[in-house]
Amino acid sequence: MNTKIIKVDKDKFKVEELEEAIHILRKGGLVAFPTETVYGLGADALNEEAAKKIYAAKGRPSDNPLIIHIADKKALEVLTWEIPKVAEQLIDAFWPGPLTIVFKKSDKVPLGTTGGLNTVAIRLPEEPISHALIKESGVYIAAPSANTSGRPSPTRAKHVIDDLDGKIDMIIDGGPVGIGLESTIIDVTSNIPTILRPGFITKDMIEAVIGEVEVDQAILDLGSDVKPKAPGMKYKHYAPKGDITIFEGNLEDVIMQINQRTKQKIENGIKVGIIATDETIYSYDYGIVKSIGSRQDNNSIARSMFALLREFDDLEVECIYTESFRDAGLGQAIMNRLLKAAGHHIINA
Ligand code: TXA
Ligand code: MG
């Protein structure tokens, strides 16, 4: 299949530029597009055949449900069985934005979209291209991250091209995304709302609006045998080709350990990449050293994490050593993704 790639400027574009993408979506085809979190791979959520194509293109297990993207909260009346009061409060506070809410689904949503579940995950993105695409097409767009299953999520069109060129109808290049980590997912179908995936909207932000929430035990005990409530969270994920090891502890000790181990690896002929920060980048003596962002600014770390993992792939790095980050606020989402990418391989420095 020939994949058409178009460039669209998210700050000034005309709806006509999206005409062909809209046509493809209405016909049951696949279009990758930017959102504020990561690039998504979109198809008509109510068309089971279209949803199936997403699984095929990504190589995604069929029990892993898709998030439906909407442009107006009125769509909830069509897609959900009921809208709990806490959901209303969350919507008023965080939509449009990087929060996905899990509802009981209506009969209109095919099981092929929800991986056989009787619940449905829904999000109303803020990014202008995605918003226009959903609104103007009139299609509820099912969209997972637009990467090959298991690889780091795409934060630029290049990442989508690397994974899906030739497998989908169109890629809309809207430039780098703003946030860089996937949306927070919260399930409001249980008595106490439960966070299933940490993201840019943090637990504290949510609790300030609806009071106490739970966090899925599988997130807290990452790497244990606890089964996550979001089916997709159980899969190996975000993994670059090189093996990642996270070093925890006092930063000076971490730097010393990484320096020692990198030297050894290089002596054995192994190509090593180091994930440093703006504050520490000059402390490393060996290896390919890259900054993931500033320790003073978690947003900068979130934004470049997946791109950096892919950069190390392009450089054919075999072994990646990384510093760790404080597990609070947005740091919880950052460490969640990093730990998964590392297959939970941590060393205490
Ligand atoms: O930021 C995002 O959410 C991006 C952009 C494109 O919107 N999308 C995204 O989709 O990250 P994906 O498919 O890569 O991750 C969706 C996650 C999976 O872990 C899936 O298991 C979970 O959401 N999920 C979807 N529907 C669910 C449901 N009904 N109940 C529980 N978890 C669900
Ligand atoms: Mg994904």
How much is the average pLDDT of 114-134? 97
Ligand 1 atom with least separation from CA of 117: 29
- pLDDT 10s digits, 225-270: 889 998 888 776 788 889 999 999 999 999 999 999 999 999 999 9
How much is the average pLDDT of 160-182? 98
Please tell me the predicted confidence (pLDDT) of residue 252: 97
Please tell me if the CB atom of residue 186 comes closer than 6 angstroms to any atom of ligand 1.
no
Q: How many whole angstroms separate alpha carbon 20 and alpha carbon 24? A: 6
**Residue 31 · residue 169 · CB < 8 Å:** yes
Instruction: Fill in the DSSP letter of residue 297.
Output: -
- Tell me which ligand sits closest to the C-alpha of residue 41: 1
- Does residue 206 sit in helix, strand or coil? helix
- pLDDT 10s digits, 294-328: 999 999 999 999 999 999 999 999 999 999 998 88
Diameter of the chain measured on Cα atoms: 62
Residue 146 confidence (pLDDT) above 90: yes
The residue whose CA is least distant from atom 12 of ligand 1 is: 144
Ligand 1 atom with least separation from CA of 105: 29
Q: Beta partners for 32?
A: 41, 171
What is the four-CA torsion angle of 107, 113, 114, 115, rounded to 10 degrees? 130
Distances in Å between the Cα of 305 and the Cα atoms of 55, 224, 232, 273, 322 are 25, 24, 20, 13, 11
The residue whose CA is least distant from atom 7 of ligand 1 is: 40
Q: Of 93, 33, 15, 104, whose CA–CA distance to 69 is shortest?
A: 33
Please tell me the predicted confidence (pLDDT) of residue 304: 97
Distances in Å between the Cα of 328 and the Cα atoms of 4, 199, 203, 235 are 41, 11, 9, 24
How many helices and strands (H and E) does the chain possess?
11, 16
Straight-line distance from the first to the last Cα atom of the chain, in angstroms, rounded to the nearest whole number? 49
- Tell me which ligand sits closest to the C-alpha of residue 163: 2
